[in-house]
Amino acid sequence: MRQSIVVLVVFGALADAPGGRASQDALCLEEGKRAFDDLVERWTWESFWDGSTSGFRYRPRANGEAEVFWNADMVGMCSQQLGSCTAYERSGGRLGQFALSSRVRGGEISPATDAFLHSLNEPRIVAEGGDTGSRGLAGSYGPLEGRGVVQSIPTPGRVVVVQQSTSGFQSCNLPNWSFPPLGPPVPIRDKITPASLSSFKGWLDGNLHPWPVGAKSEYVIPYYGPDDPMVYVLVRVGGVTESVIFIVAEPDGDGWRIGGHFDPKESPAQVHRLARLILSARMTSVVR
């Protein structure tokens, strides 16, 4: 990657960096590149599992100005070449939930970044419909039930006010930056077995209900990265795909929980696509 002048800006407070501009430039380059690499890693996982990136169209090998911003709770970037500003929440030591995205239409990138950060600071009202108890997301209510699908607990509809923590944002302008191609994530490409695999298999085995007597079940685990916030698992019974579930890492990094599932009757195309990817990145199985 090539870069020329770098400028460090601290939103909400003046930066009195010892050593003057040279120290600011060095700090900007170091921290800005770290934030950019975190975003690329997140986009690599999204591109592999979802076939696209959240909220915008990634353009590999695009080259131009980018403005990266970060604080203790969020990381994001604005780019004319990608035509967007986008941000993710931090979840422990990883980038987790997609927070917000908006389009960038011409003009200088710094004003667009300022406007986007201002929009992040505004409370957003999210209406959540009531859950009727049908199969869907599981929250944190425990193991799979019935035929291995996640059963949700009925909850009334509600309105949620989302207020992002936007204090202490820092921004680094990278005038000549290259966006790399997004190939398979490194743990999948290099077949790296994570140190947490043994405990993950134990957790998975302890949180999935046994199948009926005589039914052989298999939970196929693909290679995953320790910093990836979600792990897809293929559930097969008698060699036939039953569902695809996704396991979400706890924010503190201590354990996992079942996030939800895809059912082949309700989402056949999604299950077929994910099952094919899981098998292509297969690391191991839990067989019962």
pLDDT, averaged in runs of 10, over the chain (288 residues): 37 38 66 89 90 85 87 88 86 71 80 84 51 34 36 41 63 85 92 92 81 78 84 90 88 79 89 95 91
DSSP 42: H
DSSP per residue, 168-208: T-EEEEEEEEE-----S-HHHHTTPPPTTHHHHHHHHHHHS
For residues 33 and 174, give the distance between their C-alpha atoms in angstroms, rounded to a whole number: 9
Instruction: Give the closest residue to 135 by CA, choosing from 46, 265, 47, 240.
Output: 265
Instruction: Give the closest residue to 221 by CA, choosing from 251, 255, 187.
Output: 187
Structure tokens at 101: 């995205």
Question: Longest Cα pair distance anywhere in the chain, in angstroms?
Answer: 72
How far is C-alpha 163 from the chain's CA centre?
Answer: 19
pLDDT at 17: 38
Kindly list the distances between the CA atom of residue 244 and the CA atoms of 92, 264, 284, in Å, as whole numbers in the listed order.
Answer: 25, 8, 15
- Any idea which residue has 């990883």 for tokens? 94
Which residues pair with residue 252 across a beta bridge?
none
pLDDT per residue as tens digits for the range 103-160: 887 778 888 888 888 887 665 544 444 443 333 333 333 333 333 333 333 344 444 4
Structure tokens at 163: 């207020």
pTM reported for the whole predicted model: 0.73
pLDDT at 283: 96
pLDDT at 256: 87
- Any idea which residue has 């097969």 for tokens? 236
Return all residues near 136 (Cβ < 8 A) that are at least 6 apart: 150, 152, 260
Structure tokens at 149: 């699908």
How far is C-alpha 168 from the chain's CA centre?
Answer: 22
Q: Angle 169-173-176 (CA atoms, 0-180°, nearest 5)?
A: 155
- Any idea which residue has 């999204």 for tokens? 46
pLDDT at 165: 59
Count CB atoms within 10 A of the CB of residue 40: 14
